[in-house]
Structure 1
Amino acid sequence: GSQVVLSVEVDAEQVLKSIDQAYSRLAPRVRIAGFRPGKAPRPMVEREIGWPALRQEALDLILPTAYNSALDEAALDPIDVPRVEVQQFERGQPMRFTATVSIKPDITLKDYKDISVPRPHSEIGDKEVDEALERLRLRFAELHAAERPVQAGDFLTVDTHILKSGAVLIGESETDAQLEVDKERLITGLAEGLIGQAVGETRDIALTLPADYPKKDLAGQNVVFRITVKSIKERRLPPLDDELAKQVGRGQTFDELRQEVHDELQEAAHQSDEQRFENDVLKALDERMEVEVPEALIEREVSRRIRELETRLQEQGVKMDRYLQYTNTSLDVLKAEQRPQAVQKVRLELALETVAEREGLTVSDAEVDEAVSNALAEEDHVGHRHGDLRTADPVRAYFRHQLLMRKTIDYLSSVAAPESSDTIEPPSEAKELESAGKSASGGERRARQKKGR
């Protein structure tokens, strides 16, 4: 299994030495009437300290050394903190304790050098470029007052009230709300109900609120939106010409703009192709591995993901309990949701670590130095903290591990004997996916984005 119980015995002389060291630490804190500090007889001082406190201090001194010696003797590399049980610890007697530790499991990894995965090669065509240019036009569109009734795509200034059973709901009214008439973003039926409405007109639009409506007591309820249109603006798109290129800041002519958009899409498609290729390589690697993932590693990864989520929430000024309340969940449920991804992440890292060990892949101190410096530059930390972070063992260990995972993925990709594949048409918006093997940043349960009113 992936758990080992070490039975350890420490000779009586070492026990006595640890008790003496513990006494030397605790005695200066003791004050006994009639004696100057440090001059009272030891038996009196020990009675004042008490055996439980003296024993615990001695254990704190002797256990780490005894435990590490036992690990070295057994040639074990634990993956978590040990669970220690002390059976005997008395003056004049050997100390006996057990330490239960989790170790890396036995891993069977077959034929990873025979992995063969086709490498996709996407080509960006005119259709994708045209769609990207149209999105660019939308970004640089201007709004102009429209002297006509509401049409799809308009931007409105409105006063809104929500009524239920004929009564206006308290806290559900807005004045001068900004609203885009987009049926994909609004509650079902609202955009259609606004079409044809004139400035100054008030309409009652009967709707059923969605099940994920933020106010849980109204979710799924039949209500009436009473909306008064106060202004209508239409979006006017700029022409596809040299002026747009200059406005966007991508060249002086439209042809230059089009070429730059094409090149950006092609680069994004290439990145996406490489990510898909890596994912397929890692999937093939996972299929060749047999392992019983230790629970300790799963729990550690789940905890890491929860801490990461909590940090991101804090950066946004949101506390975890507030987030759990908003998403109508609990910490236990959140952990359970993280578990499948945590298991997959641990499996991946165990497989990559095995390959790295077999192939003798390593990361130099210089590579770690460079990675830490680059990360600090990106994070723009306060100057006086840089030195501390560059030399902190946990920070360096993290980057060394990440670099080793990256180097191992690159190695596997290089030996995957990729076959040439047919050109693949990419999605309309090629997106660069997160690099496999890097620290997971996603996977957390997010509050679903509510449809606007």
Structure 2
Amino acid sequence: MIFDRKKIQKSFCTWMRALNKRIHFPSVNSSVKNLEDNKVIVTIEVSEDDIEVAIDEAFKKISKEVKLPGFRQGKAPRKVLEAKFGKEYARSEALNDIVGEVYFQAINEHELDVIAQPQVELIEGQESGAAIFEATVEVRPTIEIQGYKNLEIEVSSPHVTQEEIDESVNRLLEQASERNEVSRPAATGDFITMDLSGAINGEPEESLTAEGFVFEIGSSFIIEEINASLEGAEIGQEIEFGGPHPSEEDTELGFVAKILSIEEKILPELSDELVAELSEFATVDLLVADTKERMEEMKRNQLPGQATSKILEAISELVTEEVPEPLIQEQIQQQMQDMAMRMAQQGMQFEQFLQATNQSMEDIVANLREPSEQSVRTDLALRAVAAAEAIEVTESDVENEIENVAKQYALQAAIQAEEIDYSLEMTSEEIDGQLSPRIQTEKENLTNSLQENGQIRILKADLLKQKALKLVEDSVKIKDEDGNEIDKKEIFVENTENASELSQNGSNPDNPDPKEEELSESDD
């Protein structure tokens, strides 16, 4: 007798609620046998007494579902139901009802980190006596990695160069630039006026055809080959160029451009008068100082995310083992759900997105596979670091994380309800003081939700990986593009992001178990 996976999935939330409310559920004796390829067999024995309790519950359920002459629905006694349907039917229903509960009890007891749905089979007890189930399931592999304390990454320099400042100032000057027609060959920065005709896979395409089309050499176009092709072009010349379609496989674009005119761009001389006319600053010095300050702030803000991304990428490359397919598939599904959610927020259906981008569902899955596999490698690597360094997550860590998230929820809700006069100048103590009752309510709701749906272990896994990442950050060597070492204090500040945000960088399909609709579908 092999059981329906959907029934096993449905039993998860039932079992967690029973566990937290201390409702009676079958006690089990279980054992685990390791197999190859990260699989285990979980053998589960349920006593005859517990089977009888489950049979009695099954008869109660049957009574509510059927109508019998002479009895109100749900009031027919067991003897009548047994005579009508037979005890064998109720026993079959009972076994189906308890299989998920006893399975989740067993994996919880043995702390198995399962990554796929199980194959569960009834070995003994289909007709009478105690029941013995065997569940074959794949678990997350435990790996070891080398070199995580000797990582070296490259990020953008936090310092602004004079060239970058000049480029920014020149973009301002371009507002007052002039064009001067020239007879020389075209160069980068020149404006080319041309008659353009295009084709798709050799067939003329009207939408790619334009007369008097103006293009600045060095700017973006549907295919990048245009810039190299127009360099050195002369008036009256016909230029042919082509390249692959940027978003459609096996599609080639071809163009013929007849050069009508070439104009060079002339920037005005930088002066205090021009700066005052084009900007809010009275002098060149003030403009340059502000430009440098803004660019340095932007770089400082970008560096932590850039460095973390590079660290996660580097540590994922230390994983040499083959990545389990269920983890990759779970991550692909998670990313697709995230995409669909973002589109829904913008008022777009997933089918509309596919049509607009001329992609199929298979194309999306194929494009997501590589980043999904890297995310899984990152997850395995961070867990390996945590294991090697004996990193632990305490109950205090969990409570603090829940409280931090509760504060965020409370603040968002209070702002929307206009219950708080919020300003950026307010300290966290002032905010917490005004929102204390709401924070406590959010904390209790969040704790109950996590417990009832078995997500505390997912939260712990997130916190564990966050600690592992912090350890790697402390030892990594960071350099800029020129090989200059960067002080990590310029990049990393006290880590205040909550654990759920870590999952967006180093994803972890930690829980294949079903979740309630009100909970986030994301894994660690």
TM-score by length of 1: 0.66
Q: Is the 8 A contact 2:51 2:131 kept in 1?
A: yes
Deviations 1:329-378 (A, max 9, x none): 6355335434541442233232244256x133542422333246448978
| Bigger shift: residues 371-380 or 293-302 | 371-380
Query: 2:427 maps to what in 1?
Result: none
Aligned residue type for 2:168? R
Query: 1:59 maps to what in 2?
Result: 95
Q: Does 1:344 align with 2:341?
A: no
- CA–CA distance in 2 between the matches of 1:292 and 1:193? 47
Q: Is the 8 A contact 1:138 1:237 kept in 2?
A: no
Aligned residue type for 2:285? D
Residue in structure 2 matching 1:87, options 104, 123, 129 = 123
Q: Is the 8 A contact 1:158 1:227 kept in 2?
A: yes
- CA–CA distance in 1 between the matches of 2:480 and 2:166? 29
- CA–CA distance in 1 between the matches of 2:182 and 2:479? 56
Identical columns (%)? 19
Query: 1:32 maps to what in 2?
Result: 68
- CA–CA distance in 1 between the matches of 2:270 and 2:358? 47
Query: 1:370 maps to what in 2?
Result: 404
Query: 1:134 maps to what in 2?
Result: 167
Deviations 1:75-133 (A, max 9, x none): 54444443322234545421121122333434446797xx356798987677x233234
Q: Does 1:180 align with 2:247?
A: no
Give, in angstroms, the shift of residue 406 of structure 1: 2.8
Residue pairs, 1:139-218, within 5 angstroms: 141-142=174-175, 148=181, 153=189, 162=198, 169-173=205-209, 179-183=214-218, 185-186=220-221, 187=223, 188-189=225-226, 192=230, 205-212=238-245
Change in CA separation of 1:21 and 1:351 when aligned onto 2, cut-off 3 Å = same
Change in CA separation of 1:217 and 1:172 when aligned onto 2, cut-off 3 Å = farther
| Bigger shift: residues 397-406 or 341-350 | 397-406
Deviations 1:171-199 (A, max 9, x none): 4456897x4322553454587399777xx
- CA–CA distance in 2 between the matches of 1:79 and 1:167? 50
Change in CA separation of 1:180 and 1:90 when aligned onto 2, cut-off 3 Å = same
TM-score by length of 2: 0.59
Query: 1:446 maps to what in 2?
Result: none
| Bigger shift: residues 17-26 or 94-103 | 94-103
Q: CA RMSD in A?
A: 5.6
Give, in angstroms, the shift of residue 69 of structure 1: 3.8
Query: 1:359 maps to what in 2?
Result: 391
Unaligned runs of 5+ in 1: 198-202, 444-453
- CA–CA distance in 1 between the matches of 2:257 and 2:477? 58
Aligned residue type for 1:105? P
Give, in angstroms, the shift of residue 295 of structure 1: 4.2
Matched pairs, number:
423
Q: Does 1:301 align with 2:331?
A: yes
Give, in angstroms, the shift of residue 219 of structure 1: 1.5
Q: Is the 8 A contact 1:28 1:38 kept in 2?
A: yes
Q: Is the 8 A contact 2:155 2:480 kept in 1?
A: yes
Residue pairs, 1:45-444, within 5 angstroms: 45=81, 54-55=90-91, 57-71=93-107, 73-74=109-110, 76-90=112-126, 92-108=128-144, 115-116=149-150, 128-138=161-171, 141-142=174-175, 148=181, 153=189, 162=198, 169-173=205-209, 179-183=214-218, 185-186=220-221, 187=223, 188-189=225-226, 192=230, 205-212=238-245, 219-221=252-254, 223-224=255-256, 236=267, 239=270, 241=272, 244=275, 253-263=283-293, 265-266=295-296, 268=299, 272=303, 279=310, 283=314, 287=318, 293-312=323-342, 317=348, 319=351, 321-322=354-355, 325-326=358-359, 330=363, 333-334=366-367, 336-338=369-371, 340-355=373-388, 358-362=390-394, 363-371=397-405, 373-374=407-408, 387=442, 390=446, 392-393=449-450, 401-414=461-474, 416=475, 424=483, 438-440=502-504
Aligned residue type for 2:378? K
- CA–CA distance in 1 between the matches of 2:378 and 2:90? 44
Aligned residue type for 1:438? L
Q: Is the 8 A contact 1:302 1:342 kept in 2?
A: no
Q: Does 1:16 align with 2:47?
A: no
- CA–CA distance in 2 between the matches of 1:441 and 1:164? 39
Aligned residue type for 1:300? E
Aligned residue type for 1:360? E
- CA–CA distance in 2 between the matches of 1:21 and 1:299? 37
Change in CA separation of 1:390 and 1:371 when aligned onto 2, cut-off 3 Å = same
Query: 2:425 maps to what in 1?
Result: none
- SS in structure 1 at match of 2:129: coil
Query: 2:15 maps to what in 1?
Result: none
Change in CA separation of 1:325 and 1:11 when aligned onto 2, cut-off 3 Å = same
Give, in angstroms, the shift of residue 23 of structure 1: 1.6
Q: Is the 8 A contact 1:278 1:409 kept in 2?
A: no
Give, in angstroms, the shift of residue 21 of structure 1: 0.6
Change in CA separation of 1:5 and 1:133 when aligned onto 2, cut-off 3 Å = same
Q: Is the 8 A contact 2:124 2:133 kept in 1?
A: yes
Give, in angstroms, the shift of residue 6 of structure 1: 1.2
- CA–CA distance in 1 between the matches of 2:265 and 2:479? 49
Query: 1:449 maps to what in 2?
Result: none
Change in CA separation of 1:410 and 1:441 when aligned onto 2, cut-off 3 Å = closer
Unaligned runs of 5+ in 2: 1-35, 419-437, 508-524
Change in CA separation of 1:260 and 1:165 when aligned onto 2, cut-off 3 Å = closer
- CA–CA distance in 2 between the matches of 1:103 and 1:165? 48
- SS in structure 2 at match of 1:32: coil
Give, in angstroms, the shift of residue 5 of structure 1: 0.6
- SS in structure 2 at match of 1:13: helix
- SS in structure 2 at match of 1:23: helix
- CA–CA distance in 2 between the matches of 1:209 and 1:440? 38
Q: Is the 8 A contact 2:233 2:239 kept in 1?
A: no
